Each structure stands twice: as structure tokens, then as C-alpha cells.
Structure 1
Amino acid sequence: MKSFFYAAIVSAFSILPAGATTIIDTTSAPGASNFNCLGTASGCGQTFGQSFTVGSDNTLDSFAFTLTPVQGGTLDTVLRIFEWNGSDRVGSEIFSSAATTLTHTVDTLVNWTVGVALNSGTQYMAYLDTSGIGNSTTQRSGFRVTTSDSIYTGGTFGWERTADDNNWRSLNTRDARFVAAFSSAVAPVPVPASLPLLAVALGGFGLLRRRKKQASSAL
């Protein structure tokens, strides 16, 4: 009886819906090229990133970029996220990771855990920043970018270069090879009205069965 009671409760909860998940993934898009270079080395851009649009699943769980091999030593970088108006950042940063030291020697998908709630229908920029965190003028890496912007229409690849007076530039015909994982906040699921009645009925049935067993033993 006890096992049947637990099984009935578990079965009732197993049909309740779970939170949805959205994945934006351009890493397998056909055609790609290198876009160099990321870092504080001469001629490089200190910040590169990708704009994206948030759907109904608005908690950004993680963000990843495919980066080309690091050259000239290890490269420290920080992932930052801002709201984006199509040409520049809006307001203060929403997220900033701890500095990550990159050492990879082949093209690598590098992932950052984020875990922040964003606004559905709003565009944001996720970018890697190599400035002001101890890099010298030799380290550099780069991005793998798609050769077409038709793969993802919710944003585009962009960068900021010191040589360009710190203005943002967008590569409107391409996207970074990136993965963004979103989830929705799972609200408490209301207990079906019949479930407490089921528990009471099963409990009463179990009590009656035990009393009958005790009565039989007394005879």
C-alpha cells in the first residue's frame, strides 16, 4: 500500500509541464572565416561581440564564442553584456564575468556562465573585452564568423577599435559563431484540485486495511 500511494503521487506530478529552453546556435552554419584580431596587440580591436534579440525565454544561462588560436602568449578577456540600440551600447553593463585566461591552440568554443534575466523583445550585445586587465601588446586571438547574415537575423557581429576612435562597427553581413542558451523562470505549479483528495482517499484506504489486519490477528 505504501508503495502504491507514493507511486500515485509521483505519477500525478510527472505530467506537470517543465520550463522551456531556447538555444541560438550558429556554430554549424555553412561557411566561415576568421576575423582578426582580438586583443591589445597593435592593430587589434580590444572588444568584439555579437548582438542578439531575446525571445520569450528571457533568462540568459550561458554564452559561448568560437575563437581562433591564441598567439603571442595567454590572453585575458572578460565577457560583458549591454543593452544594444542597433549601433551602440545603452546604459550601464548588465553583466560582467570574471577575467578568463585563454590559452587554446585550435579553434575553440569558449563558454561563459551568465544567469541573468533580460527583457523579451529587446536586443543586447555580448562582447569580449581585453582592455585594462593586464594584457600586453603581443597577445591576440580572433573570431570565427559566418559568411552570411541569413543564419541569424536577430543581431550581427560587431567590434570596437581604438584606431577607429572607439566607435562601434557592425559587420552587417555576418554573425559570430556563437551559442546562447536561454530558459524561462519556472513558476510554482499549482497542485491539481483532485490531488489532495486522492491523497486523503489513499491514506484512508490504507488505515482501513491496517485495522482489518489487526482485527484478523486478534481472532
Structure 2
Amino acid sequence: MNKQFAFAALMSVTAALAASPTLAADAAAGKAKSAMCASCHGADGNSANPEWPKLAGQHAKYIAKQLADFKAGRRENAMMAPMAAGLSDADMDNLAAYFASQTMSLGEADPDLVELGEKIYRGGNKASGVAACMACHAPNGMGNPAANFPRLAGQHAKYTENQLKAFRSGQRANDAGKMMRNIAAKMTDAEIAAVASYIQGLR
């Protein structure tokens, strides 16, 4: 493990602990509050529009951190900033607990992109320095809740593609230690599209 990766991993664990929902998170209260989220993300967290992420089955700590980042301006999004602005810490934890308790709908990968997508996800690209996605997000795409690495399996390919490009351009910058920005900066459009499609079909 090189020093840069070790530092980034340490920063991610620190961020995860700082963003942890309280033990008193109330999924029922989160469900009641989730009506404001349903029009984009679906009542059960499975969004119909591939531009918007599925929240169902995502790790609670990760959801809570993203909401806090939207509220604080660490993650910029014109639609999410006003939605998060009025949320208390308890609201964020409760919403996170509710969506984490839901079941994510499964997707399919584009057969034409599977070979390259699997290659990048499982082995990266040694020539360009792209790390294997599974090193942080697990071979099955379920992520690592302790380190606050999100679940990827089943996520809309379009959303994942958009986020990788946002990390690559620096438009999204709320990743600890610039881990995702450093990885995405080395990825081509073809690699991003392929791995995003592969992730959509992971199960």
C-alpha cells in the first residue's frame, strides 16, 4: 500500500466516524420525512430517473454525510442544497436510516461494456495508474461502511458516470484525501462509461 493510498484511507475512516449517524436514528421518523425526497428518489429510494441516485440500501453513514455536505456546501448541487438546508442532524440520520433499510432494485450491464468494465472494476488500469474499484467498494460492490465507502452495486450507470466525471473535473470535491478525484483524473470516458455500466449490473 503506497503512502498516498494509506493517507486517503485514513482520512476516509476519520470522515466516516465524524459523519456517523447517532445510535438513536429513527427509520420510522425518516420515512415520515422522506416525502420530500420521493419525487426524485422514489418513495422507497429507487429513483426512476437515472440522473438521480438510488438511495435504497445505501449505507446510512454515507447518506448522512452527503446530506451534511450538501447543507454545508462541501458538495455543490443546485437541487440538493435547498433540500438539505432545513434538515437537522437528527433529520439526516433518520432519513439515512430509512433509506438504508430499503431494498435497492437491480439493474443490468450493457453486454458490450462488460469486459472493459469488469477489467477496470476488478483490476484497474496499471498503465495509467487507475486503482481497482473493488479495493474500496468490495468485489460485490457493497462498499465498506466502516470506512464510509459507498455501496455501488445496482446504482444507475448514468448517475455513476456523471459522478466520476464530476470527480475528474473537480466539480465534486467532497471525497476524503482527494481519493476519487485522483482516480477519476486518470480515467478515460470509455473507462468511465464501461465501469459505470458494469456497476449497474453488479449483484
Q: Which has the higher helix share?
A: 2
Report which of the two structures shows the higher radius of gyration computed on alpha carbons.
1
Give the number of the structure whose residues are more often strand, by fraction: 1
TM-score by length of 2: 0.24
Comparing both chains, which one has the higher relative contact order based on Cα–Cα distances under 8 Å and sequence gaps of 6 or more?
Answer: 1
